Amino acid sequence: MHKRCRVAVVVVLILIASQAVAATKAEKARQKVLAAKIDAILAEPQAARGFWGVEVVSLRSGTTLYERNAEKLFTPASNTKLFITAAALALIGPEHKFRTTVEAAAAPDRYGRISGDLMLVGRGDPNLSGRTLPYKTRTERGQPPVFVLEQLADQLAARGVRVVEGDVVADDTYFVFERYAEGWSYDDVARAWGAPVSALSLNDNVLFIRILPGERAGEKAFVTLDPFPETFQIDNRLVTTAAGSGPRNVVVDRQPGSNTLTLWGSIPADDTGTSEAIALEDPADFSARIFRRLLERRGINVYGKARARHQEPMGLPTFHVTATASAGGGPVETGSAVPRTVVLATHESLPLLEDLRVINKVSQNLHAEMALRLLGREKGTAGSIEAGLSVLQFFLTPAGVNPAEVVLYDGSGLSRKNLVSPRAVVGLLRYAAGQPWGAAYRETLPVAGQDGSLAERFRGTGAEGRVQAKTGSMEHVKSLSGYLTTLGGEPIAFSILSNNHTFSYEQADAVIDRIVQAVVDDRTARRRKK
C-alpha cells in the first residue's frame, strides 16, 4: 500500500476511535444524569421504605440506561400478564378463534325430539358475554350478558328442536377443573377480579348486583341481580337514610363456597345508586341452568335436569347435577368420555388478539387465566395451570429470559407466590419487540393518558401518548412495565416493580410516573442526530 494511503487509513481509524470514545463518554454522562434523577426520586422518605426494582434499556442500542435491583425477584401483580399474552401471541397466534357448540348424540327426529342429553360445550371462549369487541378506549357492554346463549338457543329453535328428553349438560372439560390458583387470597375469590376459571365462562363468571335506595328513610334498599337472580340468596340489611345524610356506606359480602349475599350499611334516599360484580362458584353449572331456561322460553321442553360436566385435575370427568325450578336434583355421577356427537348450534369468537387486548388494556384476570390454560391445552399436555406454565417456560428459554427469574403460579398475577425480576420483564419486552407479532403485542398495552388502565395517568405531560405499558396493583405492590419513546425519539423497554411500600396506590403511582417521566424527558437521542 502506498505510504500516503496508509497514513490516510490510520487517520480515519483514529477519527473513528475518537468518535467512539466521545460517544461512549456522552452515553455515560447521559446515564449518570438519568441515574441521579431516578435515585433522587427513590431516596425520598416514603419511597425509600419500599423495595424497588428498575431496569431501563434502549431498544435501539441495547444499552442499559438505568438499573436498580434488576436481577432481584419481586411480586409483579398484573405484570404477570405480559408473559402470558406474549406466549399466547407467539405460540397460539393472533387469529385463533374459539368455538362454543351445542351438541347431541343425534339430530332431532321428525317430531323435533332430542332423545338424550343436550350438551353445551365450552372451549375456552372468554367473551361469552355482552362485551363490545373490538375494545375501544374503555369497556362497553352493548348486549345482554347472556346474548351468546340466546343466539345458540335461537339456532336450536330454528332447527326444529322442540323437546329434550335428557338433561342440559354444560361441558367445560376442555380445561381441567381448577377454579383458582395457588397463592390467591381468600378475600379475592368472591369478587370479580377473582372469578373462578372455566372453559365455559359466561359473563366473565360474575353477576351484576345493582343497589338503589328505598323510597324513604328507614326502608330497605332495593337490590337486583342480573342475570339469573335465583343464583344467590340475598340477606338484605341495607337501610335507606335521609336525603343528604352523607356518603353511602355499603358492604356486600359473599363467603367462598356460599351462595348467600349479605348486604349491610346505609344509603341516602337521594343517592344515585351503586353496582358491583360478584363472582360465581361454578360457571358451567350457572351456564347450564341459564341455557335450560332460555330453551324453555323458546318453547323447547326439557324433561331432564341442568348439570355441569368437569374434568377433575387427577381423575375422570364428573357430572355435577343441579336442581332446577322444574326438575329436582340428583347425586353427583362419574362419567366416561363423551361419545361422538352431532353439532346442532355454533358460536365462533373473534380472533384471539381481540381478547389479548382486553386482558392487557383493562387487566382482566379471568381472561388471562383462560389464556394460560389455553396454552396448556393447545401446546402442552392439558388445559391446566401446570401444563400452561410448562409451555410458558419452554417459550421463555429461546427468548433469552432466565427461567430462574420467572417463578409463576398463575396467569393473572393474582397469586402472591409469583416472582419475577425487572431484568426478566425487560428481556421479554426486548424479545417481543423483534418478533413478527411484536407490533400487535405492543398494541395490546394501555396507552398513557388515552385508554385502559393508563387512561387517567400522564395526562398533560410529555409522556402522554408516548408510553405503552402494563400496570399492576396489589396491597403493598405496584408495577409498570412496557415501552416508551423519549422526547429524543429513542425507543425504550422498561420495568418498574415496587414491593413492601406503605403508601397508597395513588402515591405509588405518582412515584412510578415520575420515574417514567424522567426517562421520557431525555432528549439526548435527538441532539445526536443533528
Would you state the torsion angle of the CA atoms of residues 195, 196, 198, 204, taken in this order, to the nearest 10 degrees?
-10
At residue 246, φ and ψ (nearest 5 deg) are 125, 180
Query: 370: burial class by Cβ within 10 Å (0-12, 13-18, 19+)?
Result: buried
Q: Check if the beta carbon of residue 177 is closer than 8 Å to that of residue 310.
A: yes
DSSP structure string for 179-229:
-S-TT--TTTTTBGGGPPP-SEEEGGGEEEEEEE--SSTTSBPEEEEES-G
**Location of C-alpha cell 419513546:** 485
- Distance, in Å, from the CA atom of 395 to the CA atom of 348, rounded to the nearest integer, reads 28
Q: Does residue 343 contact residue 358 with C-beta atoms inside 8 Å?
A: no
- The letter for the amino acid at 414 is L
Q: Which three cell numbers stand for residue 463?
A: 409522556
Q: Who contacts 394 (Cβ-Cβ below 8 Å, separation ≥6)?
A: none
- Return left, alpha or beta for 103; rule: phi > 0 is left, psi -120 to 50 is alpha, else beta: beta
Do residues 445 and 457 touch, judged by C-beta distance below 8 A? no
Q: How many residues does the chain have?
A: 530
Q: Which amino acid is at 246?
A: G
Give the side-chain half-sphere CA count within 13 A for 23.
11
For 19-47, give the DSSP string: HHHHHHHHHHHHHHHHHHHHHHHHTSHHH
User: Which residues participate in catalysis according to the annotation?
Assistant: 78, 81, 363
The DSSP result for 40-84, as a single string, is HHHTSHHHHTSEEEEEEEETTT--EEEEESTTS-B--GGGHHHHH
Task: Give me the helices (H) in 400-437, please.
Answer: 422-433
> What is the 3-state secondary structure of 72-119?
CCECCHHHHHHHHHHHHHHHHCCCCCCEEEEEECCCCCCCCEECCCEE
